[in-house]
Amino acid sequence: MSSLRAHDDTWDIATSVGSTAVMVAAARAGETERDTPLIRDPYAKILVAGAGTGIWEFMLDDSFAAKVADTDPESATILEHMGNYQAVRTHFFDAFFADAVAAGIRQVVILASGLDSRAYRLEWPDGTTVFEIDQPKVLEYKAATLAEHGVEPSALLHEVPVDLRHDWPAALSAAGFDASLPTAWLAEGLLMYLPAEAQNQLFAQVTELSAPGSRVAVETVGVQAQDRRELMRERFRKISAQFGIEDAIDVGDLMYHDEDRADVAEWLDGHGWTASAVTSQTEMQRLGRWVLPDDADGSAFSEFVVGERH
């Protein structure tokens, strides 16, 4: 269980779970500036710079990783792994949407969208509608920041400002969602912030709203041993102290470490979907982005699951 979460908590872009969206956007910004990036997100840096967290802006400093490597090479490798993971994850789900629209799907729902900029940066076919669901303040920040820079969506975008623990299906329908049409759903960077029961409820609601031919893509939750989590905490405490990073958020404290969490692919297979999964480690190795030892604990890493509704 998370030590910093409550069933009725809320956040903006600079606090709690909201700040993790800034972390992910910072990773996308860093990847975009590589010589041979896996993904390109021209809006990520804009969104990070205006978020007011200060913490994740260190990831935009080219010299940051080199300075860490000078004093703690293993921590530098972990930071590199984190950036690579975000790039590979984004690449995988970008491809999922490309496949979905190629199959004729024109309705998209991004659950807990955070600072996801796919509604703006991907090339959507004419007639595509994207629904973004997240906390009101998170959606307000993203929309206002991109508008200030003259950035417009590349699809018809509907923002649905509602907490996923509330009646989000009603809010989604009120925003124009059509449950009779096949939909491409994305749950990326979400499940770790939900307890097991809420995860099951979320997928039950998605299933109820999904017409035949709908597709879903999910990032699952890796299971990391407690001693490993403590080791990671200590490493990041040292990095924070070294670089004077104040109020550094321990992302692990925002997550629900729930042993009863269902296997997503198995759950989908048992509830009207045909699902398949690939481990993030396998995908990172395929794309040449694996920098950890080959004998690393595979259960600590997430899977990327895709499913199609019968």
pLDDT number for residue 15: 56
pLDDT number for residue 219: 97
pLDDT number for residue 233: 67
pLDDT above 70 coverage of the chain, percent = 81
pLDDT in tens, 78-95: 888 989 999 999 999 999
pLDDT in tens, 299-309: 778 999 999 99
pLDDT number for residue 177: 98
- Is 223 a residue whose pLDDT tops 80? no
- Write down all domains in the chain, each with its CATH number in brackets: 102-309 (3.40.50.150)
- Is 1 a residue whose pLDDT tops 50? no
Tell me the pLDDT band of 5, cut-offs 50, 70 and 90.
Answer: very low
- Is 40 a residue whose pLDDT tops 80? yes
CA distance 38 to 58: 21
From 12-21, 276-285, 299-308, the region with the lowest mean pLDDT: 12-21
Tell me the pLDDT band of 259, cut-offs 50, 70 and 90.
Answer: confident
pLDDT number for residue 50: 73
pLDDT number for residue 62: 65
pLDDT number for residue 13: 59
CA distance 265 to 165: 22
The per-residue DSSP string of the chain comes to --SS--TT----TTSHHHHHHHHHHHHHHHHHTSSS-S---TTHHHHHHTS---SGGGGG-TTHHHHHHHH-HHHHHHHHHHHHHHHHHHHHHHHHHHHHHHTT--EEEEET-TT--HHHHS-PPTT-EEEEEE-HHHHHHHHHHHHHTT---SSEEEEEE--TTS-HHHHHHHTT--TTS--EEEE-S-GGGS-HHHHHHHHHHHHHTPPTT-EEEEE------HHHHHHHHHHHHHHHHHHT-TT---GGGGS---TTPPPHHHHHHTTTEEEEEEEHHHHHHHTT---S-TTS-GGGS-EEEEEEE-
- Is 2 a residue whose pLDDT tops 70? no
Q: Contacts for 170-177 with beta carbons within 8 Å, 24 or more apart?
A: 171/133, 172/109, 172/131, 172/133, 172/209, 175/131, 176/129, 176/131, 177/107, 177/109, 177/131, 177/209
Q: Helix 226-243 vs helix 73-102: angle between axes, to the nearest 10 degrees? A: 110
- Is 6 a residue whose pLDDT tops 60? no
pLDDT number for residue 59: 62
Q: Work out the mean pLDDT of the chain and round it to a whole number.
A: 87
Mean pLDDT of 40-59: 77
C-alpha 101: how far from chain center: 20
